Amino acid sequence: MKYIITESQLDTIYFEYLDFLFDGLTYDKNNSTPRNKIWKDNSGKIVLMLKWTGSLWVEYELWSTFKSFFDLDSYSVIQQIMKDYFEGRLNLENIDPEPVWM
């Protein structure tokens, strides 16, 4: 059986999966780098770091999991999906997500 998924439905699916991956994020108000913003997961591991330059570092393992789950090969496509997601979910503007080992 084939399913037809529209572009807007696909965006919703992407966002729901990203909600799952980034579930329970907490903003670290007491981080040691005040020019950067940091979000941690439930275990206390840093998973997002917004650099003062506008670069949003996304923990590589989560980026890779998202990429593999949807079989996405294009860095720019993944980057745009995550940019849209974080702009909507965390109210971040003018960001450039990129995968980084943290």
Q: Is 58:47 a contact under the CB 8 Å cutoff?
A: yes
In whole angstroms, give the CA distance from residue 54 to residue 68. Answer: 26
**Does 70 fall in a domain?**
yes
**Does 37 fall in a domain?**
yes
Predicted pLDDT of residue 31: 74
Predicted pLDDT of residue 10: 92
| Residues in the chain, pLDDT under 70 | none
Pair type for strands 55-59 and 96-100: parallel
Predicted pLDDT of residue 5: 84
**Does 80 fall in a domain?**
yes
**Does 1 fall in a domain?**
no
Predicted pLDDT of residue 21: 96
In whole angstroms, give the CA distance from residue 13 to residue 7. Answer: 10
Chain mean position to CA 35: 20
**Does 13 fall in a domain?**
no
Predicted pLDDT of residue 17: 97
How many structural domains comprise the chain? Answer: 1
In whole angstroms, give the CA distance from residue 82 to residue 61. Answer: 14
